[in-house]
Amino acid sequence: MDTLTALEALKSLAQESRLSAFRWLVQAGPEGLSVGELRERLDIPPATLSAHLNQLRGAGLVLDQRAGRVIRVRADYQRMNQLIQFLTENCCAGAAASCLPIAPNQEKKS
């Protein structure tokens, strides 16, 4: 993932409603949620949610699929993963040791 794309993704997640929306979608799993369901959970007006979703879409963090009148939205884990990878690489250059405590083959220390 290049810097510009990462920046877009970061901008998209760096906002309360959008981060919250994304977390709901992640929690919902591969099925995702309809825009309406998401709106209920976030309790914000449709137009506002649409604007936020557009931002997340633009960053490639969510995908949607229309089913009749309902649009089902789901988190794009792959893209999220690329972001995490970008951050890991760009956080760890020159200090790998202190930046990989999450890896499953290591003890989670402290």
Partner DNA sequence: GCAATGATTCGATAATTCTGGAATTATCGA
Partner DNA sequence: TCGATAATTCCAGAATTATCGAATCATTGC
Instruction: Using CB under 8 A, list all residues that contact a second copy.
Output: 3, 6-7, 10-11, 13-16, 19, 22-23, 26-30, 75, 77-78, 80-81, 83-85, 87-88, 90-95, 98-105
In the list a second copy, DNA, none, the entry touching 48 (Cβ below 5 to 8 angstroms by class) is DNA
Q: How far apart are CA 55 and CA 49, in angstroms?
A: 10
Residue 30 DSSP SS3: helix
Q: How far apart are CA 30 and CA 27, in angstroms?
A: 9
Among residues 12 and 86, whose Cβ is nearest to DNA? Answer: 12
21 interacts with DNA by CB under 7 A: no
39 interacts with DNA by CB under 7 A: yes
> What is the enclosing helix (H) or strand (E) of 93?
none
75's CB contacts (< 8 A; 6+ apart) are 22, 25, 26, 28, 32, 61, 62
**Among 23-31, 49-57, 76-84, 85-93, which window interacts with DNA (CB under 7 A)?**
49-57
